[in-house]
Structures are given as structure tokens and as C-alpha cells.
Structure 1
Amino acid sequence: MRTRRHPALERRRVLAGSHPVDVRGTFDPARPPVVLVHGVGMSGRYFLRFADALAATHDVYALDLPGYGTAPRPLRPLTPLELGRVVADAVEALGLEAPVVVGHSMGCQIVVDAVKDHPGRWAGYVLVGPTVDPTARTLLHQGWRLLRDTLREPPRTNAVVALDYLRMGPLRYLRTARHMLRDRIEENVRGCTPPGLVVRGSRDPIAQRDWARRLARTAPDARFLEIPGAPHNVQHTDPQELAAACAPFLDSCGPGPRPGSPA
């Protein structure tokens, strides 16, 4: 299904701690905020169709984290934990009040670290196609699952992924992937006290059903749902369907501060 580009989506650069972060956003404080966090090798660009779908009802921000997309590269690839701090600092720099933060793939690990370490800053969190399944925690396993998913993605999505991967470069990608494999989302999610939602496409070979369900059960307060027929990059292939599926959760989080205080 085609989505309409929201006319108010703007590009800005903010300083998150010591790191510049590039943002595509609606910058509409009258609506409840949603922050979108990309996965390894990617940028906020593959969230734009989903951002357009959400922009009818929410104030949406798609980030390019340090070393991704158009954001300047740090001297070395940052770990998911370090990127989680960057996300929290970016939210503060943007002046957002209790957003819902959405991660995709490795972005889920970044989101979990951000939520765990800054629990009072978020209204809730959404994990789309989360990595890394502990039963496949090697480069070989993840590479095989990625290849299988590539065969299930439409050409338009594969083109977006390939361009972002090329922009990052293979060496930096591999170094970041090693950080990804060492991160333990299945342990860190136990510290995520805001409400959560774990989502996968039903044809996603990277975030398989048993793993995604198990992660949702491990979190203190999280639900699980699937988007029928969708592959790993469901936010790009099925943005309207994903937005509709997430709408009840986003509505339940609502605007305004959550229990606790920003850390």
C-alpha cells in the first residue's frame, strides 16, 4: 500500500550529548511524540513510509544515529548501550515529553538500553523485529537469516537497505555487528518498566516467532503481535498495516509524563 509523504516532515540536526544526530520529523508539539530508531547499517530513511503513516495522529521523529545515514561518524562504532544514551540525549535535545520510542532490528537493542537506563523518560516502547535471538548469536547464523529475509523483501526495500549498507561500509558494519551480538537484550529488557509492544512480520526469519514471544514475556509489561505476510522490514513494506496494528498501544500510552523521573 502506498503512503503519502507528510508535507511537514523536516530535517534538522541536534546535539545529543557530544554526538550530532540527524532528525527527520514533524516537530508538532501539539501531538503525542513517537521516536523511531533504526537498526545496524541503516538510517531513518527506511522509517519514512511508517513515519508518514503515523504523522496523521502523532509527532514523529526518525533519527540518523552517529555513523549512520547523514549523521557524522564517531571515531569508532558505538555499542547499543552507547547509542541508547545518544537516543535519550536526542529526546532531551528535542524537548520531547514522554515519547513512545520505536526500534527496529538492532534498534530494538538500542531502545531497550535507553528505556532501561532512563525509565522515566518514555511513555512506552515498541520493538519491531528484535535482535538478537540467543539461539542464533553468531555472524554466520545472522548472515544466513539476513540472506533468507532478503529473498522475501520487495526490490524497493532491498534497494533502500543496500544503499544504507554501502554508505556505512563493510568494515564498520562488521565491527558494529560484533557489538550487536554481545549485547543481551533478553536480559536488559527485564529492566524496562514502561509498557512495551513486541512486533514481528509473520514471514520474518531474523526475529522468529518463538523468540519474539519469549522476549515479550520476559519484559515486565509487554504485549506481542504479528503483521500477517510481512518480512523483517515491515515498517517499510507494510507501513499502514504496522501503524494500524500499533495504534491501540500508542493510544493506551497517551500523552503526558509517566511514573518515575528522567535519569
Structure 2
Amino acid sequence: MPQTSPTADRFHTRRLQVGGYAVDVRGTFTPGLPPMVLVHGLGMSAEYFRPYAEILAETHDVYAVDLPGYGSTPKPPHALTIPELGEALTGVVAELALVAPVLVGHSMGCQIVADAIANNHQVYVGYILIGPTVDPAARNLPTQALRLFQNMLAEPFATNVLVFRNYLRMGPLRHLHTVRHMLADRPEDTIRSCTVPGLVVHGDKDPVPSDEWVRELVGLAPDANLREISSGTHALHHNQPDELAAACAQFLTMVTGSGPSPEAPPSTQSTVEDL
């Protein structure tokens, strides 16, 4: 994370060995604060979470991961499946000895988070899913590509540059194999086993997951609510971090006892509770 922000110098990188894979972790490493682990989506890396991570670091011990094959980590021999990535994520939490962390996933990262919690619910105190994939009504490559293109037209230029840079770093073949793993996963089944409290956040201008799918996912979760952000695109954590932090503040206070309170215009958020 760059040194231009007053909170950026709080973050340091460590390379961990987890289950035979390397994982780079960009974190604050601040014992005593409630821990949060940020999980990127398809082809992305920890830097995608930088703006949101800096806000969270005011009140939490924050860790943004580069899972095996993503960002700065070495590429394993094959593109990992969602369950393999979920297992690696839980291995990171164990290696860091984090107690009762909250997992935060974006896009495909939501599938990884759901898998990790479904298989190790006793480890985690809660989860936040931002723009969760994959909509069962659009579980094919052409539709997903079209939705990503539509969202790209709505994102700021800097966000698109970051996305393309990370995609190129991952490589097209590994990216394609990972897309197949993403489409084969069934988060509508996995979420049923996520018994800890959850929050799903969706921008109302985000075409990647449909409104119907997001509401269906929340309804299938044993204990989750929905927050919608007005004029929000898919990359809420990158281009609307203040609004995202405000939407999550009440939930984080409930599950960790601490929550960021950035100023955000009341009109930027709407709430759908107890679906």
C-alpha cells in the first residue's frame, strides 16, 4: 500500500507458507484490535482493497491477502479451486493466530469466504460479502463477461487500470481455468452452512450480481442482512470506501465491538434488514 496515505505506513507484508503454498499478507499486525481478513476476487490482489483497508485500520487489525497464484505470490502448478482457496484462507488465519476474525470477500472472494466459513465456522465471528458471485441465472462465461464489461463502463478509469494490471499479472490461461472453477462452485449451497452472522453489500448500479440473486443469497443464509449502496458499482471497496465503511459500521460494531464511522451522506445508503 502506498506511503501517501497517513495510515499506509501501518501496513507491512509477510509471506506465509500455508499447506504447501505461499501467501503474501499485507497487514497491520496489531494485537489487541479485532482482526479482519480481506479476500480479493478473480485475478485481483490485496491492493484492490487498499482504500477500504485504510479506513478499517483505524479500528481493526486488518489483513489483505494475495492468495496462491494472485498478486505478488508465486503461482502454484495449477489454478486453485474455490475449496482449495478457502482452505488456504483458513490456513492463513491459523498461521497468523487470529482470534475470532471477520472475513470480507469481494466478488469471487465471496465464494472463497463462504467456503472457508462453511467448513470452519467455529474459527470466525462473522463475514461481509461485497458484490457476491455467481448468479445461477448467469452461470456461463459469455454472460459473466458481458456483465463485467457493463460494469467496467461505470467504474472510474483508475479502477479499471488496476483491474487490467492484475488480470495481466495472473495470466490469461490461469484466469480462464479459475473462471471455470468459479462457475462450477455453488455458493447458494455453501451459504446455508455459514452459521455465523453475515452482511451482504450490493451497489445498486452493480450488474455483476443481479438484485434478485443477492436477495436470494441473503435469504438462504442462516443469519445475514443486506445493505444496498445507492449509485454503487461492483468495486465499492475501491472507489466508494467511505460509503462501504458506513454501510458496514453497525454490523462490525455488533460482531467485533468496534466499527469505523466515516462521514457519508445519508442518501448514499438504503437498508434491507432481516431477509
TM-score (norm 2): 0.90
1:79-114 Cα shifts (integer Å, max 9, x gaps): 011100000000000110010000000000000000
- Any residues of structure 2 matched to 1:67-106 within 5 Å, and which? 67-106=69-108
Alpha-carbon distance in 1 for matches of 2:48, 2:209: 18
User: Which residue pairs with 2:151 in the alignment?
Assistant: 149
Q: Which amino acid aligns with 2:106?
A: H
Answer yes or no: is 1:44 the counterpart of 2:56: no
Post-superposition offset of 1:4: 4.7
Does residue 1:111 correspond to 2:113, yes or no?
Answer: yes
**TM-score, normalised by the number of residues in structure 1:** 0.94
CA contact (8 A) 1:6 1:55 kept: no
Shift of 1:240: 1.3
Q: 1:207 and 1:114 mapped to 2: Cα distance?
A: 21
1:49, distance to aligned residue in structure 2 (A): 0.8
Question: CA contact under 8 A between 1:3 and 1:240: conserved in structure 2?
Answer: no
**1: CA distance between counterparts of 2:226 and 2:20?**
35
Shift of 1:30: 1.4
**1:193, 1:220 within 8 Å by CA — same for their partners in 2?**
yes
1:212 aligns with 2:219: no
Equivalent of 2:255, from 253, 256, 263?
Answer: 253
Q: Which residue of 2 aligns with 1:234?
A: 236
Determine if contact 1:5/1:49 at 8 Å carries over to the other structure: no
Letter in structure 1 aligned against 2:28: T
Aligned residue in 2 for 1:182: 184
1: CA distance, partners of 2:17 / 2:98:
14
Distance across 1 between alignment mates of 2:144 and 2:184: 13
Aligned CA distance change for structure 1 residues 181 and 10 (closer, same or farther; 3 Å): same
What pairs with 1:186-205 in structure 2 (closer than 5 Å)? 186-205=188-207
Residue-by-residue CA offset, 1:106-141 (whole Å, 9 max, x unaligned): 000000000000010001011100000000000001
CA RMSD of aligned residues (A): 1.2
Question: Are 2:39 and 2:65, in contact at CA under 8 Å, matched by a contact in 1?
Answer: yes
Residue 58 of structure 1 and its aligned partner are, at CA, apart by 0.6
Unaligned runs of 5+ in 2: 258-275
Query: Offset of 1:230 from its aligned partner?
Result: 1.3
Q: Which amino acid aligns with 1:53?
A: I
Partner of 1:173, secondary structure, is helix
Tell me the number of residue pairs that the alignment of Structure 1 and Structure 2 aligns. Answer: 254
Alpha-carbon contact 2:7-2:57 (below 8 Å) kept: no
What are the superposed Cα offsets for residues 180-218 of structure 1, whole Å, 9 maximum, x if unpaired?
Answer: 000000111000010011111111000121111110110
The aligned counterpart of 1:140 is 142
Aligned partners of 2:43, 2:230: CA distance in 1, in Å? 26
- Indicate the SS of the match to 2:154: coil
Query: Where has structure 1 moved over 6 Å in runs of 4 or more?
Result: none
Tell me: higher relative CO, structure 1 or 2? Use CA pairs within 8 A at least 6 residues apart.
1
